[in-house]
Amino acid sequence: MPEALELLKGSKERYREFITQCLVYARDRGVTIGFENAGRDPRSYPSDVEELKFLLYDLEGAKMTFDVGHAHLAARRAGGKATGFVIAGQIKEMRKHIAHVHVHDNHGKTDDHLPPGDGEIDFRPIVDAIKDIGYNGLLIAELWNPKKIFETGKRGLEKLKRLFRIT
């Protein structure tokens, strides 16, 4: 489908122009923009860390929000099963760009936004990588369970603290 590919190319170019303007606006106001690896599915753009890296590499001041759950889904789509070390490698590669981190779990198929430990992600290498790069920004437990909002939030926070050994 050459038309669809042409359309996609145009959309990506317009998106790039748009975020270039956003970055100027943000810089003037002392605001950091952390673009997220939004890849809950391949239709999202940028759909994985590679695509995001390519988008941001020469945009001055552009930072990244590293979403662990999305990175796992992208790595599973690429055929990996034990994704912990793949994600850890991406964190190390993007170390200079990471301004914000989202932590949540899933079963590798859909973007479940579960408390860490409730899905299949091996968080140990990921936590080590986040510590190794000296990340000192926020860790967001990005959870979703509208039927048990407070219980899920409380449990997710406890699991996050345990994972990172935060007291």
Query: Which range touches Mn ion (CB under 5 A), out of 25-33, 74-82, 108-116, 139-147?
Result: 139-147
C-beta of 102 vs 155, nearer to Mn ion: 102
Q: Which residue is nearest to Mn ion (CB)?
A: 102
102 binds Mn ion (CB under 5 A): yes
Please, which residues have CB within 8 angstroms of residue 113's CB and are 6 or more apart in sequence?
69, 104, 106, 142, 143, 144, 145
Size of site (CB under 5 A) for Mn ion: 3
67 binds Mn ion (CB under 5 A): yes
Distance of CA 19 to CAs 13, 27, 50, 56, 161, Å?
10, 12, 18, 10, 34
C-beta of 67 vs 112, nearer to Mn ion: 67
Q: Which residues bind Mn ion (CB under 5 A)?
A: 67, 102, 142
